[in-house]
Chains A and B, each alone.
Chain A
């Protein structure tokens, strides 16, 4: 499996506060990877750095062996990387349809965009009859579907998903993870950043564990699931 995204020795932070320390990770083409850790360990900072919203202090980020460390977010979307941010961050005053079409802002081919819109509505049927509703009036689960749909409309090769489960009942999260699995099945690589370790590990091929801004563990999901440290600290019992 060829490497799609490679992060090597990245350190990042904000004005005086460093959060990430020499983080390295790899995402293969079509792979599903989970990034785990408690609140405030640097998961979102890592995502922002990979999506280009934050410029790293040290280290390199490569996309298909091309250095994109200093490339801005808008260009990374055109390369095929798309981040579905934490807290959904929809354009609340615009309709669901406008939000989805904004997802395809970077694309010029109208035919492809309409085809992808149809694919999103198949994946999330609940959105079909709410296309003309103002996005801000949707329920939590529906807003999350719209956010993922908006991400898919960019026709990504790699989709980042930040805290899918936050604010959603476990059953809703489960349904969304099944949809993400289906997206992954269609060849889109997925990186899921989650606090809800239990749910995401059963969907990801591989996983990384972050503590205090450092990668402390890496491996196949099954191995992590069985690992005593994970069970004690993160599996709640």
Chain B
């Protein structure tokens, strides 16, 4: 029975991985930019929820919109005034720029919230539902539902709104998009802002599943990359598939290797995927060109 429970918990965690990955994939797909601060932006979302929880006792699920809006504004400003200056630069530059920003954000969080680990434990944290002798907590189910809902909302936005179509068009051909009247600078800022908002929204979700501190962002960014590569760049269904797969693989691996190897497993699977099938399950031809 243990494997069944691990399988279910793995899938539930996979939902969160999908949500974390889809916003990372959006920014990478549209602007060919790998945001190394993505994980720390999620942690920032968790801290927003943590402040609201401690000050007003607001339930973490209710704080999701606040975290999303905060990150939306931060993301828009960051892209508009900083990243847009460098976005056409080489892969060296954008990677290191976002690493520099990550350093700034981590230290800001350390200064404000100290390095202590925090957690978001709503009143019903302990409760759960049982099938036979498998126990699934409400919180995990809630996180899974919200994560998939956010992912579906993004897919809806991209598929059926004017701005969403413009973002998709830009991801296929920036110059052609300009030629039909799309202002690239605005689309980049909007895309980064939406990606940041989604990251912010997954903050509270993360906070309810795991304890967090200002420095855990790096591992989250790497997980997002693994899921995007597994699922295929620029594909929302791919990110969901990739997220669920990684969640399950990580959980099942604890059977064989013990709990300490979760991160090692996800990174090793990344290397295996990159070597065997860089386009992932559903992705477009991989983004391999090196901008000189």
Bound together = yes
Q: Check A91/B173 contact, CB under 8 A, given A101-B165, A102-B166, A105-B162.
A: yes
Q: Check A85/B175 contact, CB under 8 A, given A74-B181, A74-B182, A150-B180.
A: yes
Shortest distance between the CB of B160 and any CB in chain A (Å) = 11
Q: Check A89/B173 contact, CB under 8 A, given A102-B165, A105-B166.
A: yes
A72 near B183: Cβ-Cβ < 8 Å: yes
Task: Kindly state whether residue A189 has any CB partner on chain B within 8 Å.
Answer: no
Type the 1/0 row for B133-172, where 1 means its CB is closer than 8 Å to any CB of A.
Answer: 0000000000000000000000000000010011011001
Q: Check A91/B179 contact, CB under 8 A, given A98-B165, A105-B162, A105-B166.
A: no
Chain A residue at smallest Cβ distance from B235 = A93
Partner of B176, one of A72, A89, A98, A106: A89
Cα-based distance from A34 to B256 in the complex (angstroms):
70
A92-122 contacts to B (CB < 8 Å): 92-94, 98, 101-106
Shortest distance between the CB of B176 and any CB in chain A (Å) = 4
Residues on B close to A: CB < 8 A? 162, 165-166, 168-169, 172-173, 175-184, 234, 284
A102 near B175: Cβ-Cβ < 8 Å: no
Chain A residue at smallest Cβ distance from B178 = A73
Q: Chain B interface mostly helix, strand, loop or mixed?
A: helix
A77 near B173: Cβ-Cβ < 8 Å: no
Residues on A close to B: CB < 8 A? 51, 53, 72-74, 77-78, 82-83, 85, 89-94, 98, 101-106, 150, 154
Partner of A93, one of B172, B177, B180, B181: B172
B169: which A residues are within 8 A, CB to CB? Answer: 91, 94, 102, 105
Q: Check A105/B182 contact, CB under 8 A, given A91-B169, A94-B168.
A: yes
B181 near A78: Cβ-Cβ < 8 Å: yes
Partner of A154, one of B173, B176, B177, B180: B180
Cα-based distance from A93 to B170 in the complex (angstroms):
11
Cα-based distance from A92 to B175 in the complex (angstroms):
13
A53 near B172: Cβ-Cβ < 8 Å: no
Q: Check A91/B172 contact, CB under 8 A, given A77-B181, A82-B179, A103-B180.
A: yes
A85: which B residues are within 8 A, CB to CB? Answer: 175-176, 179
B234: which A residues are within 8 A, CB to CB? Answer: 93
A77 near B172: Cβ-Cβ < 8 Å: no
Chain A residue at smallest Cβ distance from B187 = A74
Shortest distance between the CB of B77 and any CB in chain A (Å) = 22
Shortest distance between the CB of B156 and any CB in chain A (Å) = 15
B182: which A residues are within 8 A, CB to CB? Answer: 74, 105
Chain B residue at smallest Cβ distance from A83 = B179
A77: which B residues are within 8 A, CB to CB? Answer: 179-181
Shortest distance between the CB of A5 and any CB in chain B (Å) = 16
A83: which B residues are within 8 A, CB to CB? Answer: 179
**Interchain residue pairs with CB less than 8 A apart (23):** A53-B178, A72-B178, A74-B182, A74-B184, A77-B181, A82-B179, A83-B179, A85-B176, A89-B173, A89-B175, A91-B172, A93-B168, A93-B284, A94-B168, A94-B172, A102-B165, A102-B166, A102-B169, A102-B177, A104-B180, A105-B181, A105-B182, A154-B181
- Please give me the 6 A-B residue pairs with the lowest Cβ-Cβ distance, nearest first: A106-B181, A77-B181, A89-B176, A91-B172, A73-B178, A74-B183
Excluding A82-B179, A91-B169, A94-B168, 10 further A-B contacts by CB distance (< 8 Å) are A53-B179, A74-B184, A85-B175, A90-B172, A94-B165, A102-B166, A102-B177, A102-B180, A105-B169, A154-B180
A98: which B residues are within 8 A, CB to CB? Answer: 165, 168
